[in-house]
Amino acid sequence: MCLAVPMRVVSVEGMTGTVELGGVEQPVNLSFTPDVAPGEYVIVHAGFALDRLDEVDARRTIDLLSELAESADAETKPPRNKSAEP
């Protein structure tokens, strides 16, 4: 399965940019989005910024991905044993 993730552009140097999501920064190739500027959002897959995304759609997608991750995390945690609590 492939997943492209919206990320905020932090900096641009030629055809390489730095993007950020959740405090994690990574370099990306900007060949498909050569006119992107810091502060804009892009869809990132396999180290490439594939397209621009407006901030509202980016934040909506990021929120949905966060909810999905929290839900998956909750499903994998073992249930608390209430009888062991004081």
Q: Report percent pLDDT > 70 for the chain.
A: 86
Mean pLDDT of the residues in the chain: 88
pLDDT value, residue 79: 62
Cα dist from 36 to 8, 9, 14, 77, 79, whole Å: 10, 8, 11, 40, 46
Mean pLDDT value of segment 62-80: 78
In which residue are the tokens 């594939």 written? 50
Question: Which two tokens mark 3?
Answer: 């997943």
Q: Quickly state the pLDDT bin for 7 (edges 50, 70, 90).
A: very high
pLDDT value, residue 82: 61
pLDDT value, residue 78: 66
Q: Which CATH number fits domain 5-77: 3.40.50.10140, 2.40.50.100, 3.40.190.290, 2.30.30.140?
A: 2.30.30.140
